[in-house]
Structure 1
Amino acid sequence: MGEDLFWAIRGGGAASFGVVLAWKIKLVAVPPTSESFSTLERTYEEGATDLVYKWQTVATHEVPEELNIEVDISVRNKNDASTTGRLGKMIIATYRIMYLGRSKKLMQLMEDKFAELGMQEKDCKEMSWIESIVYFARFPDGIVPLERLLSRESEYSKCTFKVKSDFVTKPLSKTTLEGIWKMLEENEFVFIMTPWGGRVSAIPEHEIAFPHRDGNLYLIGYLAIWDDNETVEAQEEHLIQVREMYDHMTPYVSNSPRDAYFIYRDLDLGQNTLNGGSVYSSGCTSWGQQYFKSNCLKLMKVKSNVDPDNYFRDEQTILAIHESNPVEKDGALVEF
């Protein structure tokens, strides 16, 4: 297929360039019991602010590559828990901990790196690699692991959701975290914090099309989920809440550009448009640069070579460059 196209479809959105019929991959052998997991919840009253503040550096720079600690921040009504928080609601920080190894070693690492979280041996569960996939996909209980994967159903498969994203390059202050908790108490969505670092940061920014590497502490996902049976007004309110939080976070996240995670496709960032029958894009000056940074221009060059007529396209595909769809950078037309 050519080196450039192979570069583009690994992290640049293969749907922009064609239909991938098969991948040839190299497998890695793992032992039958290879991973240890723990899910811990800590409320605002149990020190959620201090714990999340420390998590920002511990989970991204101080733990080995084999250990991943993800945090979801959500709110529960007072009837859903024994302890109430401010405004009659509870802030809940849910830590999802995954370790490539046995639980005894996980306990040692957590005691050394993040003892404040208070993880205990009874909190750990060992499982196979394939079971870990089910665990992180939040599949419903009561179905054996392989059947869970074959059913292709998770908690998100029967609902509608909106997700926006940001990358954080500097730790948020405790005051900023408190402001986030306050907004969450007044709204209904989940604040997902996924640590970067490790192998992700070890790969150079231009090695593959996905550019968000070294320099990022973690990824934020602003996730609102609702039932399709809700009224149009209620569904619109979910969207408003997520967008308000996104606007609130502007001073605290990456900028110039404000980076975004391509997997969390966000049409608020911009869309391809039709003009006189031709497809136009502002991709490398708006959403394309947010998703792919300086790699966006190379992606457009690859697109121009393999699909110059933009046969494969949607609202946010990479588009070919031609006379009717010029691209500017720093005030000058880009030519290849």
Structure 2
Amino acid sequence: MAVATPVALVLTVCFLGFNLPSLSVASSSSDFLQCLSTIVPSQLLLTPGSPSFKPLLVSSIRNAKFVAPATARPPLCILTPTKASHVQAAVRCGRHHGVRLRVRSGGHDNEGLSYRSQRPEVFAVVDLAKLNTVRVDPRQATGWVGSGTTLGELYYAIGKAAPGLGFPAGVCPTVGVGGLFTGGGQGLLMRKYGLSADNILDATIVDADGNLLQSKKAMGDDLFWAIRGGGGGSFGIVLSWKVRLVPVPPKVTFFSVNKTIEQGAVDAVTKWQTVAPALPDDLTVRVVVQQRTATFQSLYLGNCSTVVGTLRGRFPELGVKYADCREMSWLQYTAYLYFGEAASKKIPLEVLLLNRTMTIGPFVKNKSDFVKKPLTNNTWHKIFTWPSGAAKGHLILEPHGGRMAKIADGDTPFPHRSGVLYNIQYVQFWNGSGVGGNISMMPNWINGMYDYMAPFVTKNPRAAYSNYRDLDIGVNKVVGGVSTYESGKVWGDRYFVGNFRRLAMIKRKVDPADYFRNEQSVPPLF
């Protein structure tokens, strides 16, 4: 990762000065590759015949169940652009020769849509990993970050250049900012500063015609609104983002407290539902529920004595003690929350945060919910004692309130603001084989738990978080080469609630031919 020049990617000379016909006028795949090769250096363009192709394709697949389908029906090629003109060429050549694009930055897409297609279509992958430069301006408390930058790279660059600043985003250091920002970007600083998307000041994007729009002024208010939480793969390819950095103290406090069901976990989580969203904005306490145990984890923008005193008064059921706390810099905290004790054993932070590789583990399935009314103690007892069998499933509960409750539902496409107590991420792991992650081969813990929770979460619609993408809730139907609004509304209303219609209207304005399309991309509203 280069912490260097801004990611103000400059448009070179105009090229490929042809009109853009509809996708129905398709040429051969070889013509697309030939078209790309006139602009893109050969070392940045890999086809399945290259020995490096499969390792690159698999390198950022984070969910093992997608390895088999991704390699069985691979993309036509993988482009690893280093500047804007390469991305422009991909869009223009793709439009001209009938090849669609899938774009990935970190590879954590829960359904793998950034590098695979469930449809029988010719597509190429634009892998943004080389667009990972970061420039921090400590005096202005801003930064420019490339879409291929991982959270670990971003955190490290900020922590080294401006120790008194941070940025609100997620936990996993190998998540790419390009995907995270376009979906909103939840994290443990959101109660104090809002989502990642709430702190985006500007951006550069290649639109559906292959034009480079180098500022929010160039793209217009509607498109700039849409890319800050409206989901990835719908409106263009964002190359870089200008972000607002936020103040953090020299030391923050982390604690992790485990409570088994015998130690009062059910009572503690029941109380947590109303306490956590109402705590001071400087304090976030999330919960991981797994195997009859609740793990409470915190981020407090202050010292240990203050947080212990606060929780003794407002949440005595948790029983936090001074011995449970660790004080550290915000940068150290970003590593410690994910890596645990490994981050305290003198392993250099750059080793932990700048490593883009991640070992492929078991198969994974995710779902999500938002909660506005506290669940009863009896309901939580049922959840804690839910039969798991061989399933390895858990719930991650992240509190809202604070700054999240003060931002209007329509300020960005992310609508889950007023009245939300917390969100739930359901995660299940299981061992797979060559089945390609077939859902029928998956243990049924997550589906059973999700069905059970229906009466207790948001309704009409039952909301979901777009960054926890879930194809079970609906996929687009394509008619006449364009995704239909009616099919998109099935899942879109759940991710974006009242904002989905506006997103679809913007899609019609900026990409009426629906070039940027996947199974859950925003369709144009005609």
How far apart are 1:185 and its partner, in Å? Answer: 4.3
Equivalent positions of 1:83-94 (< 5 A) are 91-94=292-295
Q: Distance between the aligned counterparts of 1:222 and 1:301, measured in 2?
A: 32
2:462 to 236, 258, 269: 258
Q: Distance between the aligned counterparts of 1:108 and 1:152, measured in 2?
A: 39
DSSP-derived class of the 1:94 partner? strand
How far apart are 1:313 and its partner, in Å? Answer: 1.4
DSSP-derived class of the 2:515 partner? coil
1:170 aligns with 2:373: yes
Match of 2:220 in 1: 2
How far apart are 1:54 and its partner, in Å? Answer: 0.5
How far apart are 1:131 and its partner, in Å? Answer: 1.9
Paired residues, what number? Answer: 304
Q: Percent identity?
A: 40
Equivalent positions of 1:4-153 (< 5 A) are 4-33=222-251, 35-61=252-278, 63-75=279-291, 91-138=292-339, 141=342, 143-153=347-357
1:195 to 396, 399, 404: 399
Equivalent positions of 1:228-267 (< 5 A) are 228-229=432-433, 236=440, 238=442, 240-267=444-471
Match of 2:135 in 1: none
Q: Distance between the aligned counterparts of 1:40 and 1:144, measured in 2?
A: 26
DSSP-derived class of the 1:286 partner? helix
Query: C-alpha deviations, 1:73-122, integer Å up to 9, x for none?
Result: 111xxxxxxxxxxxxxxx11000111111111111111111122111111
Distance 1:113 1:260, change over 3 A: same
User: What code does the residue aligned with 1:15 have?
Assistant: G
Q: Distance between the aligned counterparts of 2:434 and 2:406, measured in 1?
A: 44
How far apart are 1:68 and its partner, in Å? Answer: 0.6
DSSP-derived class of the 2:246 partner? coil
2:474·2:488 contact (CA, 8 Å) conserved in 1? no
Q: Distance between the aligned counterparts of 1:302 and 1:278, measured in 2?
A: 15
Distance 1:299 1:277, change over 3 A: closer
How far apart are 1:274 and its partner, in Å? Answer: 3.0
User: What code does the residue aligned with 1:289 have?
Assistant: D
Match of 2:172 in 1: none
User: What code does the residue aligned with 2:375 have?
Assistant: L
User: What code does the residue aligned with 2:367 have?
Assistant: K
Distance 1:53 1:230, change over 3 A: farther
User: Which structure is richer in relative contact order (CA contacts within 8 A, separation 6 or more)?
Assistant: 1
Q: Distance between the aligned counterparts of 2:247 and 2:313, measured in 1?
A: 29
DSSP-derived class of the 2:419 partner? coil
How far apart are 1:231 and its partner, in Å? Answer: 7.2
RMSD, aligned CA: 2.3
How far apart are 1:311 and its partner, in Å? Answer: 1.1
2:335·2:353 contact (CA, 8 Å) conserved in 1? yes
2:235·2:510 contact (CA, 8 Å) conserved in 1? yes
Distance 1:284 1:192, change over 3 A: same
1:205·1:211 contact (CA, 8 Å) conserved in 2? yes
TM-score where L is the length of structure 2: 0.55
Q: Distance between the aligned counterparts of 2:502 and 2:367, measured in 1?
A: 25
Distance 1:285 1:42, change over 3 A: same
How far apart are 1:66 and its partner, in Å? Answer: 0.7
Q: Distance between the aligned counterparts of 1:196 and 1:28, measured in 2?
A: 18
Query: C-alpha deviations, 1:113-168, integer Å up to 9, x for none?
Result: 1122111111101111122222333478264223211113568x544311111111
TM-score where L is the length of structure 1: 0.84
Worse-matched range after superposition: 224-233 or 13-22: 224-233
Distance 1:227 1:111, change over 3 A: same
Equivalent positions of 1:250-289 (< 5 A) are 250-275=454-479, 277-283=481-487, 285-289=489-493
DSSP-derived class of the 1:15 partner? coil
1:140·1:154 contact (CA, 8 Å) conserved in 2? no
Q: Distance between the aligned counterparts of 1:104 and 1:253, measured in 2?
A: 35
Q: Distance between the aligned counterparts of 2:341 and 2:286, measured in 1?
A: 20
What are structure 1's unaligned runs of at least 5 residues? 76-90, 323-336
User: What code does the residue aligned with 2:285 have?
Assistant: I
Distance 1:102 1:154, change over 3 A: farther
User: What code does the residue aligned with 2:248 have?
Assistant: V
What are structure 2's unaligned runs of at least 5 residues? 1-218
